[in-house]
């Protein structure tokens, strides 16, 4: 059984739909200015699955449940499938989306039969592994990101997202735009927001001498 670090109601995460966003702990990335770093490190408070399912069952306007994190695909496949099953049993009318960093395409491939789409973060140009590492703190095989994107493309709730990080240049965004232009699912660019207390920023401050602002 997966742990749930919390949930929020949202009208923004899935455009045009009233959603409940679940946050699962742990992640294989250590992104600069991560908004959910407490969830990633599993130091946020947990909520019981029963409370989550009651909320899903009793929310009259709920249209979608988003399984987010952290990174959901670091959890066991059987546990994720059981969570999806529990969600659908609690409210058969809701759609289910999984938010993922795309680093585990085999999980996307196996989950896609049971969910309505994915949100996949394209954090940098796919020909720039150094910018992926700068952003995420780990070495990334961008072929895995491409494979995840192609697996998820065209599903009803699939969307691709890029944060307008200050270290991404206009030409970087243009490269991403060119990549997604041939895809079926939409792409959105989200504004960058400083998260000054994120401990993953320390690797940059210590090595570059830059301040949080």
The helix (run of H) or strand (run of E) holding residue 39 is: helix 37-40
Tens-digit pLDDT profile for residues 78-97:
999 999 999 999 999 999 99
Nearest-5° Cα angle at 171, 149 to 123: 35
pLDDT at 204: 74
* Alpha carbons within 13 A on the beta-carbon side of 164: 8
Tens-digit pLDDT profile for residues 39-77:
999 998 899 999 999 999 999 899 999 999 999 999 999
pLDDT at 15: 86
Phi-psi region of 163 (alpha: psi -120 to 50; beta: other; left: phi over 0): beta
pLDDT at 45: 87
Buried b (16+ CB within 10 A) or exposed e, 74-109: bbeeeebeebbebbbebbeebbbbbbbbbbbbebbe
Q: What is the dihedral of CA 97, 98, 103, 107, to 10 degrees?
A: -90
Tens-digit pLDDT profile for residues 135-164:
999 999 999 999 999 999 999 999 999 999
pLDDT for 21 beyond 50: yes
pLDDT level of residue 211 (50, 70, 90 thresholds): very low
Pairing status of strand 19-23 against strand 6-10: antiparallel
**CB count, 10 Å around CB of 202?**
10
Taken in order of first residue, the domains within the chain and their CATH numbers are: 6-208 (3.20.20.70)
* Three-class DSSP category at 95: strand
Q: Give the separation between CA 201 and CA 158, rounded to whole angstroms.
A: 29
Average pLDDT, the chain: 94
Phi-psi region of 203 (alpha: psi -120 to 50; beta: other; left: phi over 0): alpha
pLDDT at 205: 57
pLDDT for 208 beyond 50: no
- pTM beyond 0.85, yes or no: yes
pLDDT at 136: 97
pLDDT at 203: 82
**CB count, 10 Å around CB of 152?**
29
pLDDT for 202 beyond 50: yes
């Amino acid at each position: 059984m997966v742990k749930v670090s919390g949930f929020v109601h949202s009208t923004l995460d899935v455009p045009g739909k009233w959603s409940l966003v679940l946050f699962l702990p742990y992640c294989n990335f250590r992104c600069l200015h991560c908004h959910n770093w407490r969830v990633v490190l599993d130091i946020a408070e947990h909520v019981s699955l029963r409370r989550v399912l009651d909320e899903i069952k009793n929310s009259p306007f709920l249209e979608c449940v988003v399984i987010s994190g952290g990174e959901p695909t670091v959890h066991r496949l059987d546990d994720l499938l059981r969570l999806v099953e529990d969600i659908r049993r609690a409210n058969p009318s809701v759609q289910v989306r999984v938010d993922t960093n795309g680093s585990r395409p085999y999980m996307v491939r196996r989950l896609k039969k049971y969910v309505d789409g994915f949100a996949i973060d394209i954090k940098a140009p796919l020909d720039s592994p150094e910018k992926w590492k700068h952003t995420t703190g780990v070495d990334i095989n961008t072929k895995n990101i491409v494979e995840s994107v192609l697996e998820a493309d065209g599903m009803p709730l699939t969307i691709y997202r890029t944060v307008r990080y200050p270290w991404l240049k206009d030409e970087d965004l243009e490269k991403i735009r060119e990549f997604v232009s041939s895809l079926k699912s939409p792409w959105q660019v989200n504004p960058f927001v400083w998260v000054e207390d994120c401990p993953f920023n320390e690797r940059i401050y210590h090595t570059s001498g830059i301040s949080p602002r």
